[in-house]
Amino acid sequence: MKYFVFALAAILLSCQNQPAFNLQFEKVAQNLQFPEGPAWDGQNTLYFSNCYGNWLGMVQNDEVDTLLTVDSTQNCFRQTNGLTFHSDGYLYACDFGLGAIERFDRNGSCQIIEAGFNRPNDLAFGPEGHLYITDPKSYDKDTPDGCVYRYNFTIGKIELVADSLCFPNGIAFTADGKSVFVAESAQNRVLKFTVESDGKLTHRRIFAEMPGGDPDGIALDVRGNVYVAHFGAGRIAVFDPRGQLIASIPTPGKKPSNLEFADPDLKTLYVTEDETNALYRARVPIAGLALSYQQREGHESD
């Protein structure tokens, strides 16, 4: 596998109690077709979607391989986007080609969990163990027809938890599970919701405005900082828990689509980028947030 190192100095906007985000991006996989949805399995493998290439990829021991292709799944898999792991060992995926939510085992065996979505984009497990899914429809700032759903594993049904959104995209929970961030791409902003005991998302408020591009994938670190792939703006925007922009990390191309903390110490940030159609990674000074249901550990930076 060939590696290409990008020495990219982040623009640090606030240094109070924060390290410098001076990252060196290394190209891990190239010649992809709209890569998306990097997902760390908590052990030794990073998975990713190759949206228009119609296959799921994996990086293991610095080798890039294919988990499965459309031809191998007997109509269970077509075009995946967001991916996430659960402590049950399965990889869960949004399949916008089929309008479905799927899960895969480590051998690539596929099962459709629920179908009938418009264009499911990204997903995250809530603290109660149920699966939250963003489902956009129109890309129009004046057409709020996007929704967030929760798949309730207890009763095996989909529940509407938020609506009237303009292309909901990336989604990520806070450490305590009491709040969730949702990228509202067509409005160029990230929203923050309160998570109620029944799973409903309430008290919608603007967490961060992001002009100049679409907020896309979201990830958090152990300090509660929020990392957002700013598609079209060529950066990873880093906000503190109050929504203050503290760093702007240049990416190798203008279209970073998603991101994931990985490796045993959760200090490697993987980024999918759709202008260069490649997967990158860089070491970061602060570990990613470890959620208990993902059975992985992260540690505060020294």
- Residue 277 has φ and ψ, to the nearest 5°, of 50, 60
- CB atoms inside a 10 Å sphere around CB 71: 9
**Active-site residue, selected from the candidate residues 135, 216, 221, 274:** 216
For Cα atoms 283, 289, 293, give the angle at the middle one, nearest 5 degrees.
130
Of the chain, the end-to-end C-alpha distance in Å amounts to 32
**Residues in the annotated binding site for substrate:** 119, 121
Q: Which residues pair with 228 in a beta bridge?
A: 218, 237
242, burial (CB in 10 Å: exposed 0-12, middle 13-18, buried 19+): exposed
Structure-block tokens of residue 284: 């970061």
For the annotated binding site for a divalent metal cation, the residues are 36, 169, 216
Write out the two tokens for 259: 């991101």
C-alpha to C-alpha distance for 226 and 221, rounded to whole angstroms: 7
CA-based nearest residue to 170, from 135, 128, 205, 222: 135
Is 216 an active-site residue? yes
256 near 234, Cβ under 8 Å?
yes
The residue to which tokens 């240049």 are assigned:
250
Identify the residue whose tokens are 């700032």. 141
Residues with catalytic annotation?
Answer: 216
